[in-house]
Structures are given as C-alpha cells and as structure tokens.
Amino acid sequence: MACWGVIGGSGLDVWDELTWIDEVAISTPYGEPSSVLRIGEIERLSKPPIKVIYLPRHGLDHRYAPHRINYRANVWALKQAGAQKLIATATVGSIALNIKAGSICVPDQLIDYTWGREQSFSEDGNVLHIDFTHPFDEALRSALIRSSKALIAYEDFHDDGTYACTQGPRLETAAEIVRLAKDGCSLVGMTAMPEAALARELGLPYALLCLSVNAAAGLGLSAEAIDHDDLKRVMAQGMHQIKAILLSAMQSDEDRA
Ligand code: HPA
C-alpha cells in the first residue's frame, strides 16, 4: 500500500472532504514548508484505507506567491513524512485553442521559464544531473488519465500537453503567449517548476493534474484582459472534478497494484 502525497494548488488550499486524522509540522534543511502536512485516509470497502499526505502549495491561507514558495522544503517535507509518490494540482491558462477554460489536462511535457528559484537539492561536491527527458511519471499520468476519462466529458479532457512554467506572479503579456505558443506550449502556469524536478531528484514519481481557468493572455475571451471574476468562478466549478479525479486515481491505482 503506497503512501500518497498530494500538493494542492490554487483552489485546493483546503480539502475538507477528506478525513484528516493527524497534522505534522516538519522543518527541513531548506526551511519551512508552505504549511503543516495533513495526514488523511481514504476508506475503502473491505480493503485497507489509503494513506494520503496533503500539503497546500501556497499555504493554508494562500499566503505564498509562486516565486516565493519554498519548493525544496515542500518536496523534502513530503518525502520525510513518508510520501512515496506525488500528485500535484495546478490551475493554468490555455494556450492551445482546443483546450477550453474549465477543461482538465494531464500534461506530458514542460518548459521552464522561471528564474531565481532554488532549482535543486544539489550541493557543491554532490551534483545531481537527473534525467528529465519525460518530466512526469507515466504510471501516475495513466492513473489520472483513466480516472479523468471515466469522470469527465471527452471534449473537456486532454491527456497530454506542454506546460509552460512562467515566473509570475503577474500574468503574461499577449506577446509572451505568442512566443510560448511558438515554443509548442499548450498550457501556462507558474508552479510546476522547480517542483517536478525536485521530486525527481528525491526519486518521487510526480504527475500534474491541471484545470484550465482562462484563455491565456491575448487569446479568445482574454483578448483584451483576463477577467479575474471569471477565472475564480471557473476555478470553483472545476475543483469538484479535480478532487473527484484525485480520489478516483488513488483508489484505482491501489486496486490495480
Ligand atoms: N498564466 C499563468 N498562470 C495561470 C494562468 C495564466 O493565464 N491562469 C491560471 N494560472
């Protein structure tokens, strides 16, 4: 029975539906994680419960902007607490025109445009050159894809895509989005890096479950500006699906194990 780590992105700062049985505060050599870790269990009929460790990436009150998150402390703390694989959620903007706001996406690639973030656990004398050809774990992606296909309408789900990780916290300019599109990116967010690479450095399988909450800057309904009220509304609506997919993916993966 694996112990799952879930990193909750925007819109999943609290996860009330799960039964939390414990809370642990973990200090790491890299500083404090975004919040205490919550330990929960998913009950299953005549099977042992699944253990889940949950950490809201931005903190319980969404206090940390993407460039201020202590990604190293977060990933380290989850591993220290016993997580063996990580699923992270993220809200994104859609660059690809076929990914409508409100859709769910499980990306298979990423491009990192961030700067000035602590990128690695490498230290002088102990340099890590992890293989990162495929940044997301394929088995975890498959679990998320299976559950998404079972729960979401065909046209609202995308089982691949390239995630552009921008620095934030501001949203992009229209010209930046044109450039990201030319680079082959289909989604844009601010938090998957360095998180995904740090998980790989610690040997933790990692996959990302994305909810598109807006057309990226300059595109479609965001041609003139990105409407924050719209974005929040789509995020609130989509979180029900994100939570359902998370639960189902963990359950079905354990059933197949
Ligand atoms: N850009 C970057 N990050 C985002 C966006 C966006 O348009 N929407 C949600 N997160």
Pocket of ligand 1 (CB under 6 A): 91-93, 166, 171-172, 188-190, 213-214, 216
In the chain, what are the domains? 4-256 (3.40.50.1580)
Assess contact for 29 and 230: CB atoms under 8 A. no
Amino acid 60: pLDDT: 87
Q: Probe ligand 1: pick from 170, 173, 188, 239, max atoms within 8 Å of CB?
A: 188
User: How many angstroms is it from 140 CA to the middle of ligand 1?
Assistant: 24
Assess contact for 77 and 131: CB atoms under 8 A. no
Nearest-angstrom CA–CA distance, 159 and 180: 20
User: How many angstroms is it from 80 CA to the middle of ligand 1?
Assistant: 30
Which atom of ligand 1 is closest in space to residue 90's alpha carbon?
A: 10
Nearest residue (CA) to ligand 1, atom 3: 189
User: How many angstroms is it from 3 CA to the middle of ligand 1?
Assistant: 30
Beta strands in the chain (DSSP E): 3-8, 19-24, 37-44, 47-56, 85-94, 104-105, 109-112, 157-158, 162-165, 187-189, 206-215
Give pLDDT tens digits for 7-48. 999 999 888 888 899 999 999 999 999 999 999 998 888 888
Give pLDDT tens digits for 108-140. 999 999 999 999 999 888 888 999 999 999 999
Amino acid 152: pLDDT: 95
Percent of the chain at pLDDT exceeding 70? 100
Give pLDDT tens digits for 70-86. 999 999 999 999 999 99
β-strand pairing of 85-94 with 187-189: antiparallel
Nearest residue (CA) to ligand 1, atom 2: 189
User: How many angstroms is it from 240 CA to the middle of ligand 1?
Assistant: 19
> What is the model's pTM?
0.97
User: How many angstroms is it from 63 CA to the middle of ligand 1?
Assistant: 17
